[in-house]
Structure 1
């Protein structure tokens, strides 16, 4: 019953009253079973199939072979059988495979290994939260499918409500990882606040999720900032933090994540077309809603859009 209720609630789940969280656990909110009975399937997309390059040789005949890094839910993780890969990225990969009329073959890889495997033709694409950057565009093509967002999360009973712009974070103690994109952006926010006569942001550095969560719960910091999808799952699992806002990974511009393919392979435009048709049909929104990531939806997919600068 709770599982069905959570599907109806959708992304509004993270702002439910606290007593509702008390009867829910992460497994009630996210389906991590190997069966994946709620996975979204789609019809073939004749336009996307027609756009595929005639001379492209897929890594495995009749299959769309996709690398994915199982970094954790809700993006990609192992199911309860410890072998089936599930999550938002696998669901999206399946929808693309359906669209181009091929069987999906997922290849779990370590994050550091995907570039070499893709260049060597070991797989056709990478669908694993890869952000578009100008440096990566020199070697790969991109078809965007989700916004790259960081999340501002606070204790469930925090008085902090909305963090949308630099002034909202003035004077707050925020935990981030050192040398991260989040740190880079928040340092700029703090500079803007000081220039406007507001209090600076106090950044505190912790090496991992556990340390950051402990710092938040103990009251040593007011806010935790890290990739949004990770925090969506932690909020559902721990039931003691909530979202106060989101931040584009490319602030002040939007920064997207994308299907990554070999440079010049000819796959990018057809996969962008397939994504836009999934957006138009509503299947795209259903996939994101299933994993409570609707905030990360794109209005449309683009091939090789501007990415994060090299410096």
Structure 2
């Protein structure tokens, strides 16, 4: 389904998983046109450019090639021409390239294919809602740029009013993404429930958001647990679902989303410098405000911070 210009109501989001509270406004107009007339731009930064290793070889000279998965708005999706990629992550990619004094080449890639594409040198970096984990840090370097926030959404007339902790998902049919951190959290909650004698969760997987929405509305699934930004967007556009709980993507720890680069390539530090320049200049904040993700902002970018622990560690 292609979304054109739409206006959204105000959605109040409680960060119950961390005991934090925030208000997310979806009143802003989302522009999914390929032209992006309101796109934020930045001047090049001599400091960020100077941080690029002299021997670093870009995939294409003078060009920053970035892999991106057009999975869902407002993070990244295909524009109304079904060709250009628009959203928060593409806007950040534009700012990074401009700050580093480079042209930009965005390459669409399936989520499961980005690790191989980055490792093999197909991209200089990947900006695709990738959460920092200790396991991923063995193969990639990271420069953080957003908090990882996940949401539980149910049908608007569902009797489920709150999902805050493991016992709240016992016996439910819940949709999530395969191979993701939200899946790991859900499976851990399920493990705790089963050990406590509660009913197990029936985990469901779908290839796209339209199929997930249909499963929720038809009653085949009780809830969906995936990145809050995209589910909030869907709820605002379709009006058929509601938020019943928000959890950090690193539950019980705080998790951050980052730009991924090849391990030891030397590009992570320049990217981190560039992001911090964008934060200081206000450009970073403008992009998050444009896509109604201000509450997911970070105060400072870091290279290879502590990531989510390896499984069973």
TM-score by length of 1: 0.80
- Asked if residue 57 in structure 1 is aligned to residue 57 in structure 2, the reply is yes
Distance 2:245 2:46 in 1: 39
Distance 2:254 2:228 in 1: 14
Alignment partner, residue 269 of structure 2: 269
Relative distance call for 1:60 and 1:14 in structure 2 (3 A) is same
Q: Is the 8 A contact 2:41 2:94 kept in 1?
A: yes
Q: How many residues align?
A: 292
- Asked if residue 127 in structure 1 is aligned to residue 157 in structure 2, the reply is no
SS for the counterpart of 1:83 is: coil
Relative distance call for 1:67 and 1:272 in structure 2 (3 A) is same
1:19-38 matches, cutoff 5 A: 29-38=29-38
Relative distance call for 1:50 and 1:37 in structure 2 (3 A) is same
1:13-162 matches, cutoff 5 A: 13-15=10-12, 29-157=29-157
SS for the counterpart of 1:306 is: coil
Distance 1:200 1:67 in 2: 42
1:231-270 matches, cutoff 5 A: 231-270=231-270
Deviation by residue 1:237-284 (Cα, 9 ceiling, x = unmatched) = 312223233212211111222111111111111211211222233222
Relative distance call for 1:174 and 1:297 in structure 2 (3 A) is farther
Please, which runs of 5 or more residues in structure 1 have no aligned partner? 17-25
Relative distance call for 1:140 and 1:176 in structure 2 (3 A) is same
Distance 1:194 1:69 in 2: 35
Distance 2:98 2:160 in 1: 43
Alignment partner, residue 19 of structure 2: none
How much has 1:189 moved relative to structure 2? 4.2
Distance 2:30 2:302 in 1: 29
Q: Is the 8 A contact 2:151 2:226 kept in 1?
A: yes
Relative distance call for 1:138 and 1:15 in structure 2 (3 A) is closer
Distance 2:277 2:285 in 1: 12
TM-score by length of 2: 0.79
| 2:204 pairs with one of 200, 203, 206 | 206
- Asked if residue 284 in structure 1 is aligned to residue 253 in structure 2, the reply is no
Q: What is the aligned-residue RMSD (CA, Å)?
A: 3.2
